[in-house]
Amino acid sequence: MPELPDITVYLECLAPRVLGQPIERVRVASPFVVRTAEPPIRAVEGKRVLALRRLGKRIVLALEDELFLVMHLMIAGRLRWRDRGAKVPGKLGLAAFDFPTGTLLFTEPTTRKRAAIHLVGGEAALAAHDPGGIEPLACDEPAFRAVLARENRTLKRALTDPTLVSGIGNAYSDEILHRARLSPVTLTSRLDDETWPRLFDATRSTLIDWTERLRAEVGDGFPEKVTAFRDGMAVHGRFGKPCPDCGAAVQRLVFAENEANYCARCQTGGKLLADRALSRLLKKDWPRSLDELEERRERAALTPSAPSATATATPRAARAQGTRRRRAERRRCRRRVALGPPQEPHDRGGLVELLEAEHDREAAEPAHLGEPAEAEHHQRHAGEAEPERRRRGDQARHHPLARAARRHRARQVGNEAGDAEPEQRASREQAGTDRHRRGHGSSPVGAADRPRHRAEHQRKPCRLARRRHRRRRRATPQRRAARPAPGQRPWAAPAGSHAVVDRAPPESVRS
């Protein structure tokens, strides 16, 4: 999500292009992007841009007649500056604003459309869009401290809360905490008089440094590569890579759908923070410190017998292991459903608080204004995810096993009409796959209708079933061999058979 430095550079690049210029025309490509009905979006046409502002992570164009165009880029929304009248790109384009100097395109290259435009009239209506956080670059240290310490929260949560601090999200909060050498889960009540100035200075210097860096990168152009994952970041988005200050691998703390990155050696005194995803899985195997983690790695490297044993295990053993793992996962899943969400006593290192933060934050604002904690990695993979998934889907569909399974299913559906070969039916029954006989088959006929359906088809099979039946009869070698010779009566017993019945049936049968 574009945060304070990104938004600042956007505004600086927009200023020479749109300030004092009228919006000649609005083209809205996505019907959902404009979230306000009154005043209508067409009202901006002909109005000049008087000022540009930042409101938290939103971009505001102040227009004539007290109109304010509020653009919230959310996670993947981006601005593009193109030649006047440029086409709105098909799938990603949300809207276009034509100025005499060029066209401002609003795009969002994901399938989850969350970016929003609000058009409001008057300062009072605009104030409703302000989450109310303090401006970190316009306040002094006591004010910063007073706001952050108002409630006892983890630093990560406090910094990213838009109602406390304006313009800081997941990316720059990671960077700020790394620069301040503070753990993301330290509670604000635990900070002492010596630590607060450090946090304040780190916040300011990180934001200022990155703004200057982005400004230099853009130069006279318009920001095209706005991302939360930038080269040169110390920890954010760099899980497993070396910390630029100490060289230790960057760690992560997964919460909800998001993650915080930190350097254990620089920020937490070597302590690994209990992570919901990992510590629940590993339980007692979870290493408590960086030293312990490294010790284990070394041990694993020195004793190759353990990993290679699993690698060269027999396929049977591997299968058994897989079954055990799946069963355990199913058990865990059942337990989780039975227990409901984790309770307070499970909290480790303020993690529950981090989770609550996400809920609080989303509850604090209406859904369409919410700060999505979700997956900045959507953005990271935005371009490549779709073709990659499609490629994998194709691979799976054309896999020989998948084809065999499809043929098998097709055969079962074909047998619905009651024309199964005896040996096939026997093998299916043996294998326990005779699903359609128990009413679970993939036939379009519902289980309740099945007996009637079958009865009808036994009386007179449908045309398709009759044809299939004929083809089967022809195709089986045994049948071909047993086919009556020309001229022979098909109902007569074969020559030499003793099964010829020449007696009249008994009395009981005749009546």
We find the least distance from the C-beta atom of residue 136 to Zn ion, in angstroms, to be 23
Token code pair at residue 223: 């920001």
Contacts with Zn ion in 448-467 (CB under 5 A)?
none
- Out of 141, 245, 294, 347, name the contact with Zn ion by CB under 5 A: 245
CB closer to Zn ion, 246 vs 475? 246
We find the least distance from the C-beta atom of residue 233 to Zn ion, in angstroms, to be 13
Contacts with Zn ion in 94-133 (CB under 5 A)?
none
- Out of 168, 243, 290, 355, name the contact with Zn ion by CB under 5 A: 243
Is there a contact between 421 and 472 (Cβ–Cβ < 8 Å)?
Answer: yes
Q: Is residue 268 packed enough to be buried (19+ CB in 10 Å), middle (13-18) or exposed (0-12)?
A: buried
Token code pair at residue 87: 């086409």
Distance between CA atoms of residues 281 and 328, nearest Å = 11
Question: Within 13 Å and on the Cβ side, how many CA atoms surround 244?
Answer: 10
CB closer to Zn ion, 252 vs 265? 265
Distance between CA atoms of residues 271 and 183, nearest Å = 10
CB closer to Zn ion, 14 vs 266? 266
CB closer to Zn ion, 174 vs 353? 174
Number of residues that bind Zn ion (CB under 5 A): 6
CB closer to Zn ion, 264 vs 373? 264
Q: Which amino acid is at 457?
A: H
CB closer to Zn ion, 72 vs 265? 265
The reply on whether position 177 binds Zn ion by CB under 5 A is no
- Out of 137, 246, 462, 475, name the contact with Zn ion by CB under 5 A: 246
We find the least distance from the C-beta atom of residue 212 to Zn ion, in angstroms, to be 23
Residue ranges in 222-347 assigned as alpha helix (H): 264-267, 276-282, 290-302, 305-311, 315-339
Task: Select the residue whose beta carbon is closest to Zn ion and give its number.
Answer: 243
CA angle 205, 207, 212 (to 5 degrees): 90
Distance between CA atoms of residues 247 and 212, nearest Å = 26
We find the least distance from the C-beta atom of residue 227 to Zn ion, in angstroms, to be 23
Stretch that binds Zn ion, among 129-137, 218-226, 235-243, 438-446 (CB under 5 A): 235-243
Stretch that binds Zn ion, among 94-102, 189-197, 245-253, 491-499 (CB under 5 A): 245-253
CB closer to Zn ion, 33 vs 234? 234
Stretch that binds Zn ion, among 237-245, 308-316, 325-333, 356-364 (CB under 5 A): 237-245
Stretch that binds Zn ion, among 116-124, 207-215, 241-249, 324-332 (CB under 5 A): 241-249
Is there a contact between 107 and 91 (Cβ–Cβ < 8 Å)?
Answer: no
Contacts with Zn ion in 255-274 (CB under 5 A)?
263, 265-266
Task: Spell out the SS3 assignment of 129-184.
Answer: CCCCCECCCCCCHHHHHHHHCCCCCEHHHHHHCCCCECCCCHHHHHHHHHHHCCCC
Interhelix angle for 141-148 vs 195-218, to 10°?
110
We find the least distance from the C-beta atom of residue 386 to Zn ion, in angstroms, to be 36
CB closer to Zn ion, 10 vs 262? 262
Is there a contact between 78 and 107 (Cβ–Cβ < 8 Å)?
Answer: yes
Stretch that binds Zn ion, among 94-102, 246-254, 313-321, 373-381 (CB under 5 A): 246-254
Stretch that binds Zn ion, among 54-62, 76-84, 148-156, 244-252 (CB under 5 A): 244-252
We find the least distance from the C-beta atom of residue 279 to Zn ion, in angstroms, to be 22
CB closer to Zn ion, 201 vs 245? 245
Q: What share of the chain is helix, strand, coil (3-state, %, to 5)?
A: 50, 15, 40
We find the least distance from the C-beta atom of residue 260 to Zn ion, in angstroms, to be 15
Distance between CA atoms of residues 45 and 60, nearest Å = 16
Which string of DSSP letters, residue by residue, matches 55-71? ETTEEEEEEGGGEEEEE
CB closer to Zn ion, 33 vs 243? 243
We find the least distance from the C-beta atom of residue 235 to Zn ion, in angstroms, to be 8
What's the count of helices (H) and strands (E) in the chain, helices before strands? 20, 10
Stretch that binds Zn ion, among 93-101, 157-165, 243-251, 296-304 (CB under 5 A): 243-251
Q: Is residue 384 packed enough to be buried (19+ CB in 10 Å), middle (13-18) or exposed (0-12)?
A: exposed
We find the least distance from the C-beta atom of residue 234 to Zn ion, in angstroms, to be 8
Closest by CA to 7, choosing from 60, 66, 65, 69, is: 60
Give the residues across from 54 on adjacent strands.
59
Interhelix angle for 195-218 vs 170-180, to 10°?
130
DSSP state of 36: -
CB closer to Zn ion, 88 vs 177? 177
Chain contacts with Zn ion (rule: CB under 5 A): 243, 245-246, 263, 265-266
